[in-house]
Structure 1
């Protein structure tokens, strides 16, 4: 198996080098303003967020958010925990979006986007997802809204995109999900064109949470007592991301693939060179730079044949890798989808609990 090390490839100053030399866009995997400012220094031109990240951003700044939550409760005496918590998430997002406005204007809307995710508790209701997406899109001109890549969510994405909302697909781990979202966004853009609506740059992106695909395959093989060559499963998300990007290019989709949920540097270094987005958390950005991981054009370099052959011997990987390996009905039941949705729902519940402790402190 090939192991990529700095000595194996050309050297370079990693993130900033890639941002300067390739169309690959760096986004920060957090809306925390302090982290985002630092990431912009590395060349970041966007940011992503989800309920877990939003909760952590609020918890990391108690000096700011606890007083603000108390003030919001006083200003809105009829609001419950969820309304107050989501208002805080909106305010975090608006602050971060302001930092990205220069990149938004410079790229004519292709980058400079701040992702805000719809409430995971709405995952079964397409109409509610569309309504919240439209609401969130009005928070700032450079907002991009995350909707889950389930059968219900894809219906919502197509309608929201038709209404002019910039879309970032989330809860997405597989090539079939990415292709289904790409197709839905094309239909939405075509509908707008047919009706003479604005055809500007919406900056749509389609996430594949590559590291979470790796996580699921490790759990799936362990459950079945399947032994794999050490390190092979760390390439699963990379393989899916490369294939999805290739399909998007071949089909001329007007959205881009986004790499998220980092578990190793390959989920950045193997994608550099392509017209796509990589969104590492701050700690991964620091580690990539500290280790001077090379910024080389590797997007079209295939995963080593022996690795891909072993991955394709796993039926669960094949379902995730083949463009139509999963039906739309199966998207929500895929193991990584269920596990991640539960984490998102738990984060929403934790945010409610945090707000509850503020507005109804224990006696």
Structure 2
């Protein structure tokens, strides 16, 4: 008797919904590919965790890089390791990249969060990262500066994955920026190819922010409703992308509950859980149902609509582009990414100049 398929593998075979692994760690990615994963994403926090997990490999490599680059500082050496980690992971995805004509098989590399105020620097780094491997996709934050950088990087041929993105307004602004970049390329007669660009909504981080905001405002709300906020934003963004024919896909990231996988099945989008979430979905044999067009439960949405902060995240015009920078989830996530950068610097320092 044939063993039942993993729900993850079954979903990838039945639906256009694509599975990515929320880490560039080669061991995890290899296991995720067995579940049907055709992409992977990374950020400073994830990269730092992957390097720490295999310090037996990356510690000696950092020392080798320091010998090869005698004037390089901690930041340069740390980011060199991130690049090497990304190239290794990208190689694992090349079969999917080739088979899909470039739409899938992508490995995300994030621009240095310390460049978040400089659009030109973000574009320059994005162009360089895009040249590391043919299937690299580059993360740029969905901030006011990042929106400008996304359009210009797209024009220069970079495949985009927006990050530091939590709201429908941010997702639409990124999609429109990508469209402008692609249209400029066409107007200038530049080559057309499959960019495979995606627009992340970090649904779990939106949930985290709203829970914190509700507590600060001393608002009592059905706690179950709070698990639906990120899902609601993702479903709405997907519907808008489909209606408008954007040449990018929504990506669900920052998992906090299984709804952020199960409620999106059937959509032409990407779900990117950490591998541990994939394992739990498999272990619990979650049913594989086409739920992307199923509305968020009315009672949960009614509760969420009581919150002005939810409207800012859920309504297409809930935030202006300038307000992207001060939205609570943006500030918290950007600070966390900057802290991970500092921790990577410290890790390199401790290898090169160990304490005595």
Q: TM-score, normalised by structure 1?
A: 0.96
Measure, in 1, the Cα distance between the counterparts of 2:233 and 2:192: 30
| Structure 1 residue 307: Cα displacement | 1.2
Question: What CA RMSD, in Å, does the superposition of the two structures yield over aligned residues?
Answer: 0.8
Secondary structure at the aligned position of 2:200 is classed as strand
Aligned residue number for residue 93 of structure 2: 100
Measure, in 2, the Cα distance between the counterparts of 1:314 and 1:110: 37
Residue 176 (str. 1) matches residue 169 (str. 2): yes
Secondary structure at the aligned position of 2:251 is classed as strand
Measure, in 2, the Cα distance between the counterparts of 1:151 and 1:230: 32
Deviations 1:17-39 (A, max 9, x none): 10111000000000000000000
Q: Report matched runs for 1:176-195 at 5 Å.
A: 176-195=169-188
Q: Report matched runs for 1:12-51 at 5 Å.
A: 13-51=6-44
Deviations 1:201-220 (A, max 9, x none): 00000000000000000000
The number of aligned residues is 353
Aligned residue number for residue 279 of structure 1: 272
Secondary structure at the aligned position of 2:223 is classed as coil
| Structure 1 residue 278: Cα displacement | 0.1
| Structure 1 residue 12: Cα displacement | 6.8
Q: Which of 192, 210, 213 is the equivalent residue of 1:199?
A: 192
Secondary structure at the aligned position of 2:266 is classed as coil
CA contact (8 A) 2:205 2:329 kept: yes
Secondary structure at the aligned position of 1:19 is classed as helix
Secondary structure at the aligned position of 1:257 is classed as strand
| Structure 1 residue 62: Cα displacement | 1.1
CA contact (8 A) 1:12 1:292 kept: no
User: Which residues of structure 1 form unaligned runs of 5+?
Assistant: 1-10
Q: TM-score, normalised by structure 2?
A: 0.98
Measure, in 1, the Cα distance between the counterparts of 2:249 and 2:177: 13
Aligned residue number for residue 338 of structure 2: 345
Residue 246 (str. 1) matches residue 239 (str. 2): yes
Secondary structure at the aligned position of 2:140 is classed as strand
Q: Which of 331, 334, 350 is the equivalent residue of 2:327?
A: 334
Q: List structure 1 runs of 4+ shifted beyond 2 angstroms.
A: none
CA contact (8 A) 1:12 1:294 kept: no
| Structure 1 residue 295: Cα displacement | 1.3
CA contact (8 A) 2:143 2:325 kept: yes
Measure, in 2, the Cα distance between the counterparts of 1:260 and 1:170: 9
Aligned residue number for residue 50 of structure 2: 57
Residue 110 (str. 1) matches residue 82 (str. 2): no
Aligned residue number for residue 66 of structure 1: 59
CA contact (8 A) 1:13 1:294 kept: no
CA distance 1:102–1:76, change in 2 (3 Å): same
Measure, in 2, the Cα distance between the counterparts of 1:131 and 1:242: 33
Measure, in 2, the Cα distance between the counterparts of 1:321 and 1:287: 29
Residue 260 (str. 1) matches residue 253 (str. 2): yes
Residue 311 (str. 1) matches residue 304 (str. 2): yes
CA contact (8 A) 2:7 2:288 kept: yes
Deviations 1:248-271 (A, max 9, x none): 000110000000000000000000
| Structure 1 residue 313: Cα displacement | 1.1
Secondary structure at the aligned position of 2:104 is classed as coil
